[in-house]
Chain A
Amino acid sequence: MNSLEHTLQQAFQLAVPEVALVGVACVLFLLGTARGVNRHLAGFIALGGLAIAAISHFTALPRVPGIETVTPLLGDKFAMFVRMAAFATGAALVLFAWNECDDRRSSDYMACLLIATAGSSLVGTANDLIFLFLALELVSIPTYVMLYLPGLQSKKGQEAVVKYFMLSVMSSAMLLFGFSYIYGLTGTTNLAAIQEILPRLVAGSESTTAIIAIVFVTAGLGFRITAFPFHFYAPDVYEGGPTGTVAFLAFVPKVSGFAALLKLFAFLGSAHAVANEFVKQAMMLFWILSAITMTAGNVMGLLQNNLKRMLAYSGVANAGYMLIGLAVMPTQAYRGIDEAVVATGPEAIMFYLLAYGAMTIGTLTVISHLHSPNRPVETVDDVAGLRETHPYSAALLGIFLLSMIGLPLTAGFAGKFLLFMSALAAPAAAPMRDLFVALAVIGAVNAAIGAYYYLRVINAMFLRTSLSAPTPRRTAGPLWVTAIICAVFTVAFGVYPLPMINLSRAAVGGL
């Protein structure tokens, strides 16, 4: 058999786990129309679907790699890392959203969650512009439904959905416009082929067109990672949306956005030899984006009194920290082969993404647990005196907030350390070396600014007394499982981050 056909046939094998997920989602959709289905059944089926997908990942893995410049799907280490992260997040979010919807709507919600999980997993596998776009849309479209389903009646919830829908569609259009420029330049949609062709084109007269493409792609994906000028939907959507979906929104689009950015801009590393000036321009773009995003996120976070709005701005600030890794990514090419390094940009991003996911989802779990319609937990004052009334919730929330501040022995610290070190360790031969040192300093200053508003919540929980105790819902078993998994992750990889660092390093080895 000739290897071209072999490659094309294998592409289907690579998508078996995602196809399985979508299949289970279809079953859930149909089940939702039957009478007498409750949320427990839907939840167990969703967990079963994720288990089937994880198992089929190991059984259906193709043995021989295909031709990179032909295949639309690539099963490299990066793809496997993103896939495992997506499935684990999917399981955590199924547990989170277990009691989010009533019995009638729960199976629709779970089905949408599974499809979005399949989409975010496919982003890591995609090796083709069209496939990448479809995978990103597969994350976005179910999100509209997930934002809407749990809170049909609330005005704020409806506002959140409409805002998210309109801006998400606009960002997809910008992304597609950027992709069309890349396709116009290179004449191919295959990412591996684009990595080969684009460096040669930007060296010549096409650098202006390539800059337009990069700007539009960054704008489109910037919406998903809530980078600075595209972040303004986040606070309103987080405030109005159901907490389970907000946890999804805070993490999954960021994973898929950064995975797509790393895949698309890997060519900058190989372009430095032929187009130094162009690579410098691109690095400058990400440098500015990173510095503004983290500063804006933290400064706006200071002004917030609502916990979920605060978390939204904290998400913006964290996206800024992670953009440091993207800005320093091209400098890797200037490094000597045997030069040791603490962390490169991409591997710091991969590590920080997981740390950020654990602490953000964890924080939202506790908020969702304490919240009830009679005694809402929305502002900082609402968690006052939590140490006395709900000591376990206070302890868990404390761990997550300390991780967000970036105190040592938490995963948040290890992640920030790696990111700032990746900027400080930019090789001496790289252009803008001093600017990267400055970026690390800006990051450290920002971490200090951010500490203020996280500490405000900790202060309220532990040092103030409560006026009325929150009245959590009685059935919160699945929520607690998610919270404890996130807490264990945060502490374990804060105390001993090496295994996770090694995994991240292996994942981005090719970048």
Chain B
Amino acid sequence: MILADAVLTTAGVESAFSLADYYPVFIFLGVVTGFALSSLIGSQLFYRLGLKPFKPTAVKAMAYESGMDPVGTARMQFDVKFYLIAILFLVFDVELLFLYPWSVVAYSDGSSPEWKQLFGRLVFWEIVVFMISLGIGYIYAWRKGVFKWK
């Protein structure tokens, strides 16, 4: 096996890019293909051996598309309630998305005591302000009746 060269980046010494490191992708590809093939072959085998009933209906024969009709025009009307929920979801999603990196970086071992003394409070209050602004968005949505499914 060829050893990867080391390079110096801003984050320290790291191994250089090498395509061979990405071999798990091919394992994954094999598993996916194997699963698809074996389930197709398996269902055929069960049917041929008489272990599985065969009673097709129009609905059963349809490709599964989350309850939507997969064939036909894509320009149909969706209830606006779905969009409201989707937007509301962002409030919580963005919160988590931002809080994870914050909590990893803000008070990690890498931050020096000097840094903590200067910016520790600032970083804390920043995240508090961020949470409050999301809270305001949540209260606004609540008061406007987004949670009532009517």
Residues on A facing B (Cβ under 8 Å): 1, 5, 8-9, 12, 26, 29-30, 33-34
**CA A34 – CA B144 in complex, angstroms?**
9
Closest B residue to A6 by beta carbon equals B118
Closest A residue to B140 by beta carbon equals A29
B144:A33 contact, CB within 8 angstroms: yes
Question: Cβ of B122: which chain A residues have Cβ within 8 Å of it?
Answer: 9, 12
Q: Which of B110-150 contact A (CB under 8 A)?
A: 118-119, 122, 133, 136, 139-140, 143-144
Residues on B facing A (Cβ under 8 Å): 118-119, 122, 133, 136, 139-140, 143-144
What is the minimal beta-carbon distance from A416 to any residue of chain B, in angstroms? 44
What is the minimal beta-carbon distance from A34 to any residue of chain B, in angstroms? 8
Question: Cβ of A33: which chain B residues have Cβ within 8 Å of it?
Answer: 139-140, 143-144
Question: Cβ of A34: which chain B residues have Cβ within 8 Å of it?
Answer: 143
**CA A9 – CA B115 in complex, angstroms?**
12
What is the minimal beta-carbon distance from B70 to any residue of chain A, in angstroms? 27
B140:A30 contact, CB within 8 angstroms: yes
Question: Cβ of A5: which chain B residues have Cβ within 8 Å of it?
Answer: 118-119
Closest A residue to B117 by beta carbon equals A5
Question: Cβ of A9: which chain B residues have Cβ within 8 Å of it?
Answer: 118-119, 122
**CA A29 – CA B144 in complex, angstroms?**
11
What is the minimal beta-carbon distance from B126 to any residue of chain A, in angstroms? 9
Question: Cβ of A30: which chain B residues have Cβ within 8 Å of it?
Answer: 136, 139-140, 143
Q: How many A-B residue pairs have CB under 8 A?
A: 21
What is the minimal beta-carbon distance from A140 to any residue of chain B, in angstroms? 17
Question: Cβ of A26: which chain B residues have Cβ within 8 Å of it?
Answer: 133, 136
Beyond A30-B136, A30-B143, 19 additional contacts (C-beta under 8 Å) are A1-B118, A5-B118, A5-B119, A8-B119, A9-B118, A9-B119, A9-B122, A12-B122, A26-B133, A26-B136, A29-B136, A29-B140, A30-B139, A30-B140, A33-B139, A33-B140, A33-B143, A33-B144, A34-B143
What is the minimal beta-carbon distance from A435 to any residue of chain B, in angstroms? 45
**CA A117 – CA B133 in complex, angstroms?**
18
**CA A1 – CA B144 in complex, angstroms?**
48
What is the minimal beta-carbon distance from B105 to any residue of chain A, in angstroms? 15
Question: Cβ of B118: which chain A residues have Cβ within 8 Å of it?
Answer: 1, 5, 9
What is the minimal beta-carbon distance from A294 to any residue of chain B, in angstroms? 40
Question: Cβ of B119: which chain A residues have Cβ within 8 Å of it?
Answer: 5, 8-9
What is the minimal beta-carbon distance from B119 to any residue of chain A, in angstroms? 7
**CA A8 – CA B123 in complex, angstroms?**
12
**CA A454 – CA B25 in complex, angstroms?**
67
Question: Cβ of B140: which chain A residues have Cβ within 8 Å of it?
Answer: 29-30, 33
Closest B residue to A5 by beta carbon equals B118
**CA A465 – CA B122 in complex, angstroms?**
67
Question: Cβ of A1: which chain B residues have Cβ within 8 Å of it?
Answer: 118
Question: Cβ of B133: which chain A residues have Cβ within 8 Å of it?
Answer: 26
What is the minimal beta-carbon distance from A6 to any residue of chain B, in angstroms? 9
**CA A8 – CA B144 in complex, angstroms?**
39
What is the minimal beta-carbon distance from B21 to any residue of chain A, in angstroms? 25
**CA A5 – CA B118 in complex, angstroms?**
8
Closest A residue to B125 by beta carbon equals A12
**CA A1 – CA B114 in complex, angstroms?**
11
What is the minimal beta-carbon distance from A446 to any residue of chain B, in angstroms? 43
Question: Cβ of A12: which chain B residues have Cβ within 8 Å of it?
Answer: 122
Question: Cβ of B144: which chain A residues have Cβ within 8 Å of it?
Answer: 33
**CA A34 – CA B140 in complex, angstroms?**
10
9 smallest CB-CB distances across A and B, nearest first, come from A33-B143, A26-B136, A5-B118, A29-B140, A33-B144, A33-B140, A30-B136, A30-B140, A30-B139
18 A-B residue pairings within 8 Å (CB atoms): A1-B118, A5-B118, A5-B119, A8-B119, A9-B118, A9-B119, A9-B122, A12-B122, A26-B133, A26-B136, A29-B140, A30-B136, A30-B140, A30-B143, A33-B139, A33-B140, A33-B143, A34-B143
What is the minimal beta-carbon distance from A328 to any residue of chain B, in angstroms? 41
**CA A1 – CA B115 in complex, angstroms?**
12
What is the minimal beta-carbon distance from A13 to any residue of chain B, in angstroms? 12
**CA A9 – CA B119 in complex, angstroms?**
8
**CA A29 – CA B143 in complex, angstroms?**
11
What is the minimal beta-carbon distance from B142 to any residue of chain A, in angstroms? 8
**CA A33 – CA B146 in complex, angstroms?**
12
**CA A33 – CA B145 in complex, angstroms?**
10
**CA A6 – CA B140 in complex, angstroms?**
37
Question: Cβ of A29: which chain B residues have Cβ within 8 Å of it?
Answer: 136, 140
What is the minimal beta-carbon distance from A68 to any residue of chain B, in angstroms? 21
Residue with the highest number of chain B CB atoms closer than 10 Å, among A9, A12, A33: A33
Residue with the highest number of chain A CB atoms closer than 10 Å, among B139, B140, B144: B140
What is the minimal beta-carbon distance from B1 to any residue of chain A, in angstroms? 34
**CA A502 – CA B133 in complex, angstroms?**
40
Closest B residue to A32 by beta carbon equals B140
What is the minimal beta-carbon distance from A153 to any residue of chain B, in angstroms? 16
**CA A33 – CA B139 in complex, angstroms?**
9
**CA A5 – CA B119 in complex, angstroms?**
9
What is the minimal beta-carbon distance from B106 to any residue of chain A, in angstroms? 15
What is the minimal beta-carbon distance from A138 to any residue of chain B, in angstroms? 13
Closest A residue to B118 by beta carbon equals A5
Question: Cβ of B143: which chain A residues have Cβ within 8 Å of it?
Answer: 30, 33-34
